Structure 1
Amino acid sequence: MTIVTAAVIGAGVMGAGIAAHLANAGVSVLLLDVVPKEGDNRNALAEGAVAKMLKADPAPFMSKRAAKLITPGNIEDDLDKLADADWIVEAVLEDPKIKRALYERLEGVRKDGSIISSNTSTLPLSLLTKDMPDRFCGDFLITHFFNPPRYMPLLELVTGPNTKPAVLETLSAFADRRLGKGIVLCHDTPGFVANRIGTFWLQCAVVETLDRGLTVEEADAVMGRPIGVPKTGVFALLDLVGLDLMPKVDASLAATLTKDDAYQSLRRPFPLLEEMIAEGYTGRKGKGGFYRLNKSNGARVKEAVDLKTGDYAPAGKPSLASVSASRRGGPKALVAHDDKGGLFAWAVLSQTLGYAAALVPEIADDVPSVDRAMRLGYNWKFGPFELIDKLGAADFADRLKAEGKAVPPLLEKAAAADGFYRVKDGRQQVLTVAGDYADVERGEGVLLLSDVKLGSEPLAKSGSASLWDIGDGVVCLEVHTKLNTMDPDVFKIIAKALDIVGKNYKALVIYNEGSHFSAGANLGLAMFAANVGAWPMIEDMVAQGQKAYTALKRSPFPVVAAPSGLALGGGCEILLASDAVQAHAESYVGLVEAGVGVVPAWGGCKELLSRLARDPRRPKGPMPAVAAAFETIGMAKVAKSAFEARELGFLRREDDITFNRERLLADAKKKALSLVEGYQPPEPVELTLPGPSGKASLAFALRDLYAKGLATEHDMVVASELADVLTGGDDADMTEPLPEETVLKMEREAFMRLVRTPGTLARVEHTLETGKPLRN
């Protein structure tokens, strides 16, 4: 069975988001909702949902073109069209009566073998399928997406006793490879896995905050990065998901969990929360929540609510010794500290992690499934069992015993052994429910650099980058600086890669498992050199980058870049220098140098020009490519997906896109090997550029932007230098193509002129201090 067409019933936030992500994957989707009570447009709800998503930020669509794959409709006029759907996703109200009435209607129209699933997050499958016919039960399962469906990688799957194995196999494979989802198989228990533990954690943290008299800022400072959780912590996370959702989830869990479940003892009235919701303070979607943005003297001020009085005051920046200790010693140092932050952390973690340990195998078959669910569903850096290992399983159990708290049997086994995870013979192993260890298995087509590192030493290494043998004659170049920025040590490893791969291997893949591929050049290093007037040092760094990237482009073996997350500036330029790109769908690519007051100088200008000039989708002649490059680079455009990167010219049509992050390295390796036979490095290119006439045309457009207030004084300076590079300078002639070395030289010279200007130095300094561009 294959899934080619799909239908989503329910055009609310989740249903529409699921439809959008199916469209991102190239699937034709029918999006249906009820007929509105007012108005003549019977498809208004579904059409409105698509229109809203096209304007939303963050965008549900990876490309606006994907929206064309969605056909809006309604369940009165278009129900018979479901006969063409291979997969029908129900995403209507969390009311079993409404859902079951819909299922009965679906049974009359859907084709044999079509899969039907519910996106419920609270209702058990046993209730949804009760008294339903065998045909329905065999094709039915729960597919619990997390919001927003495009960005949250977790997909929890729940099957029933009658669900056909082929249904689970088909949908798992499709969601994994086509939608990029991390699959967790859950048992049919309340809240499944992630929300069962996540809701307990949130409720416990709120209760302990109130009982211990912490401020929301203090609680978030502790329950965030110190334990490997996003900086939103607890209260900012509740603001993000919506305060009005909390009572609903709480009530649902309370109604379905047994009376002796530990969650029940955490429940208590929260009058302030009820008042906030009643007054429209429902979080970011409302007037504010535990935090809000207010205006004071014309400036926006972040305020936090006082949990005792309900009044708002400017949010403070807590200074807790336990949080400081965690920066050096991690979660273990945090909970060992006896200040209020450390005691709060232990109170929450001891209950939450103990609860998680008591739930296996009730909610899932094994420990990795639970850890995976919390990493992918709540963005925890460590799952509950990984976190227990960070604290020390034996120490954790001993402290629970010393406080008279129960130690779950699975935790007892971990405490008496080597923890929940260990490495043996270069393989990661995990403690099973039976009490022995088994290898952690990866799916077919999954290759993780972290696994490679467990059983091997790097071929070469510096403080900034390493080379790893990933098998079959392929080497991986891993950058591991902060934000994976590029510096001279990276260039040295590139030189070693050229030598090592050239002598003993077949191909090179550029990849890392950080949150971002590369944020570009090391601005801090450049700023330091500028502050001491070491201009030759900056020019040498520019020259080194040009030499390294050119050498990659001219190497006698294939080079494939595999980005995920940010690939900006120099990180984008290394993509442009590669033979091919295997991009994760969530790759955010751009030449953003203009934002810090310079121009791309490691080949970005000449490579983008070359690609745009050769793109058959674009008009012929030198000026269209120059104008497109000028707009893209001058406006520091960043593609918000790999698909947009293709539209902007950063990726070629033959570059491939991987949806599942865990499959990226294996796909890149496969692509590199496919290029080996008969490989020849690309020949140097010559660029036909328009010269002074082209620059004059760009200058005219630029003056218009300045007159409209859309360009600043320093924008004009930077754009003028950029225009000079892109048009080839004063001596360029459209009848005499320029060698790419000439354009590289122009990039370098323009960069050095700009980096000495006060406007550029101010931009660099401001970006380093705030992480935001300066408009000067």
Structure 2
Amino acid sequence: MEIRSAAVIGAGVMGSGIAAHIANAGIPVFLLDIVPQDVKDGRGNDRSVVARTAIEKMLKTDPAPFMHKKNARLVTPGNIDDDLEKLATVDWIVEAVVENPAVKSDLYARLDKVRKPGSIVSSNTSTIPLKNLIEGQSDRFAQDFLITHFFNPPRYMRLLEVVSGPATRAEAVTSLSTFADKRLGKGVVQCKDRPGFIANRIGTYWIQAAINEAMDLGLTVEEADAVVGRPMGIPKTGVFGLVDLVGLDLMPYVSRSLLKTLPPGDPYRDIYREPELFTRMIAEGYTGRKGKGGFYRMNKSGGARVKEAVDLQTGQYRPAGKPSLDSVAAAKGGLRKLVEHPDKGGTYARRVLVGLLSYAAGLVPEIADDITGVDQAMRLGYNWKFGPFELIDQLGADWLADALRAEGKAVPALLETASGKTFYRTENGKLQFLTTEGGYADLVRPEGVLLLSDIKRAGKPIARNASASLWDIGDGVACLEFTGKMNALDSDVMALIRKAAGMIGDGKGDWKALVVHNEGDNFSVGVNLGLALFAVNIALWPQVEQTVQEGQETYKALKYAPFPVVAAPSGMALGGGCEILLHCAAVQAHAETYMGLVEVGVGVIPGWGGCKEMLTRATLNKKRPGGPMPPIAQTFETISLAKVAKSADEARDLMFLRPTDGITMNRDRLLADAKAKALALAADYKPPEPVKLRLPGPTARAALDLAVEGFQLQGKATPHDVTVSSALASVLSGGDTDITVELDEDELLELERTAFMRLVRNSNTVARIEHMLTTGKPLRN
């Protein structure tokens, strides 16, 4: 069954977020909640005010639940008293009401009377077993019912845990899982009907263990987060920062709910605590970021904002410090270096990991048939870089077993099975995992998934250098991968692009197309600023200009290549990373791609053709107002304000993406979609025709300069902003040209290059570059 419409019941933070993300997939969705008592009493007339208010709130929320504000139009507010019958038309109903079995049971009975036959009903519960939810319901309802456990916020967290029961139709599970995968972009993990399912079962244990050990060992919250954060491949929030993020008041609720259903003897029962400090913090409103603060808070001192942290022993706030632990530094040499370090950070890491990883090992196959589902759930649900069994491989299964024996603890059966082995291995170019029986099985990707990591595992690159690699992804398509830090761009990247172009030739031989893609957190943050600053500081002006011209020529060659070049970005694509996308024949972007030309933040303008391409797109836009000035003004605003699209959908509004460019919701499917697009284009590909522009020249520049001066008078632009904007205005207006002269791309590129070189010699630009490298933030000088 294809899901074409949906409904969510429960307009709280989670329910409304689920509705928003269904709308992000282009699916119309009803959002229903109760009729408030004051409305029933006649003190209001909007019976759907709860759902309507939730939608309005989401339009103001940051980070935004909607990928584009227009998606809110797909969400129809309603209430369960008046609008339940409307659900007779929908294919999928999500229940996201309060975690009260009686409330859910009553709602299910009402839904079963109005829903259409074969429609799927799911609960977003994270604490109530499925067998309890369907108790007393009809057989028909049980066949169409399952659990779909989203993680908050639903747009950004990729994990979806799906739990089915013995009576659930296989078609219902398949239909919903496929929809969640392809349309919602979720990593779907099939879970067993066990307490906490997978991610929260292990995640709750991890949080409790990490908090307990920090308090027992006398660590500060900053020290604890420094150890259990990045050194373990866990987000830098660590554990205390994570609790602040989700809400300290939520933790006792989750823990108590879990304790109600956990089997006797579960190790979590042995470590559960409710420290008096935490109880007091919750009572006083210190529940985390949503409250007055949590383990961390921002406070004002002497007119400045100061970050403070709670002292775990006294409960008093103090200025937060930057922890200095030798064990954290040692972790750069591997996880074993961390846990074997003699300082308190090493002891802490060892205690947390030994308990956590043995707990995870003891839960397979109880909560999942194999280890892959457990690792995927923790990577996607908690943003861990490595799942528990990948962490065990880093430490060694035998090392962990010996550590448990040394502490007099039982060794889980699966860990005994792994003796002398690893949980993952590569065999004949294929990734394999250890089964519960002790053998190895291939990790099989879903149909339509192509990962560059699998390509890399199976062979060697066609070519590589210090900053990029070129891979054969099959069917005559090559893939260019950036490999530098943050995928920054430099001359090595340009050299490999040119080499790839020479290899593919006219696209009529063995090679047909090129895809530009990588699996880093970010596609590219632009030029390597460290190298640029080095060249600027020693006044290597010819080298700087050569780098700019090299980038311009390389990107232009990509644009006019006789074969299609398709970019497949995800995450940030900024500066030069955005400019390469602008020059590709097509882009297949992950939905969570954040594109922008942000060069003004470091005191320059786009120098690799970004100004030229954005101006050309604005000029050729058939929807623009008439006259030469609107496209110039539009491009000037986009670049001078360093606008960044907060989704691929928004990138279309800003013209970073064209209407013909594609969007892929599931990142795992991005490379396959881009390859398919490249092959489709290659069938009869012809490069675009060159475009010439007529620009107004000094008159347009004067108008733009006047506008910037107005912003400066209002305090919205700094002196160097004015300098940079003036240079940008000169380029976009065509320099000293007039409307009767046609300018080709090379002339526009020369204007870009000249303006860039003038700005990069400015001491204020150098200060901006240095500040960005030091702090990661723009300098307002």
> Which range, TM-score by smaller chain?
over 0.9
Q: 1: distance between equivalents of 2:443 and 2:311? A: 46
2:496 to 483, 493, 497: 493
Q: Identify which of 274, 278, 284 aligns with 1:273.
A: 278
Q: What amino acid does structure 1 have at the position aligned with 2:130?
A: L
Equivalence map 1:216-227=2 (5 Å):
216-227=221-232
1:78-136 C-alpha deviation (Å, 9 max, x unpaired): 11111111111100000010011001111111111111100001111000001210111
Query: What are the superposed Cα offsets for residues 695-717 of structure 1, whole Å, 9 maximum, x if unpaired?
Result: 22212222221221111111111
Which of 414, 419, 423 is the aligned partner of 1:415?
419
Aligned length: 773
Where 1:188 maps in the other structure, the secondary structure is coil
- Report how far residue 688 of structure 1 moved: 2.3
1:392-471 counterparts in 2 under 5 A? 392-416=396-420, 418-471=421-474
> In structure 2, what is the Cα distance between the partners aligned to 1:620 and 1:403?
78
Asked if residue 596 in structure 1 is aligned to residue 602 in structure 2, the reply is yes
TM-score, normalised via structure 2 length = 0.98
Contact 1:227-1:330 within 8 A present in 2 as well: no
Distance in 2 of aligned mates of 1:434 and 1:154: 27
Matched with 1:136 is 141
The code of the aligned residue for 2:307 comes to K
Give the one of 503, 517, 538 matched to 2:544. 538
Q: Which residue of 2 aligns with 1:696?
A: 702
Residues 1:71 and 2:76 are matched in the alignment = yes
Whether the aligned pair in 2 keeps the contact of 1:585 and 1:643 (CA below 8 Å) is yes
1:187 deviation in Å?
A: 0.4
Quick one: which amino acid aligns to residue 114 of structure 1?
Answer: S
- 1:293 CA drift (Å): 0.6
Q: CA deviation at 1:734?
A: 2.1
Q: Is 275-284 or 545-554 further displaced after alignment? A: 545-554
- Determine whether 1:356 maps to 2:326: no
Q: Which one of the candidate residues 560, 566, 581 is aligned to 2:587?
A: 581
| Structure 1 unaligned residues grouped into runs of 5+ | none
One-letter amino acid of the counterpart of residue 325, structure 1: A
Q: 2:125 aligns with which of 120, 124, 127?
A: 120
Q: Residues 417 and 437 of structure 2 are in contact (CA less than 8 Å); yes or no, is this contact kept in structure 1? A: no
Contact 1:186 1:364 in 2 (8 A): yes
TM-score (norm 1): 0.99
Distance 2:58 2:544 in 1: 44
* More displaced 10-residue stretch of structure 1: 611-620 or 190-199: 611-620
Range 62-71 or range 34-43, more displaced: 34-43
> Residue in 2 aligned with 1:334?
338
Q: What letter is aligned with 1:396? A: L
Confirm or deny that 1:560 pairs with 2:563: no
Q: Tell me if 1:147 matches 2:152.
A: yes
- 1:613–1:620 contact (8 Å) kept in structure 2: no
Aligned match of 2:258: 253
- Within 5 Å, which residues of 2 pair with 1:11-26? 11-26=11-26
Q: Name the structure 1 match of 2:637.
A: 631
Sequence identity percentage: 64
Alignment-derived partner of residue 156 in structure 1: 161
2:611 maps to what in 1? 605
SS of the aligned residue for 2:394 comes to: helix
CA contact (8 A) 1:582 1:667 kept: yes
What is the distance in 1 between the residues matched to 2:135 and 2:740?
Answer: 77
Q: Deviations over 1:128-157 (max 9, x none)?
A: 001210111111100000000000000000
**What is the alpha-carbon root mean square deviation over aligned residues?**
0.9
Q: Distance in 2 between matches of 1:43 and 1:70?
A: 13
Equivalence map 1:226-375=2 (5 Å): 226-327=231-332, 329-375=333-379
Distance 1:167 1:620 in 2: 52
Deviation at 1:499, TM superposition (A): 1.2
Shift of 1:760: 1.0
Quick check: 1:775 aligned with 2:773? no
Could you report, residue by residue, the CA deviation over 1:748-776 in whole angstroms, capped at 9, with x for unpaired residues? 00000011112111111111111111111
8 Å Cα contact 2:252-2:274 kept in structure 1: no
Tell me the SS of whatever aligns to 1:55: coil
Q: Distance in 2 between matches of 1:415 and 1:390?
A: 14
Alignment-derived partner of residue 64 in structure 2: 59
| Secondary structure of the corresponding residue to residue 263 of structure 1 | helix
State how far apart, in whole Å, the 2-side matches of 1:229 and 1:585 are.
24
- Secondary structure in 1 aligned to 2:59? helix
> What is the CA-CA distance between 1:395 and the residue it aligns to?
1.7
| CA distance in 1 between partners of 2:136 and 2:655 (Å) | 55
Offset at residue 284 of structure 1 (A): 0.4
Structure 1 segment 196-207 matched on structure 2, within 5 A? 196-207=201-212
Residue 665 of structure 1 corresponds to which residue in structure 2? Answer: 671
Alignment match, 2:3: 3
**CA distance in structure 2 between the partners assigned to 1:412 and 1:727 by the alignment:** 71
Aligned to 1:524: 530
Instruction: Report the equivalent of 2:41.
Output: none
2-side partners of 1:679 and 1:475: how far apart? 16
Provide, for residues 691-739 of structure 1, a one-character-per-residue CA deviation record: whole Å limited to 9, x for no partner: 22222221222222122111111111111110111110122x2232210
- Partners of 1:414 and 1:622 lie apart in 2 by 70
* 3-state SS of 2:425 partner: strand
Q: Which amino acid aligns with 1:690?
A: P
3-state SS in 2 of match to 1:117? strand
Take 1:614 and 1:6, find their aligned partners in 2: how far apart are those partners?
39
- CA–CA distance in structure 2, aligned partners of residues 579 and 621 of structure 1: 28
CA distance in 2, matches of 1:616, 1:171: 40
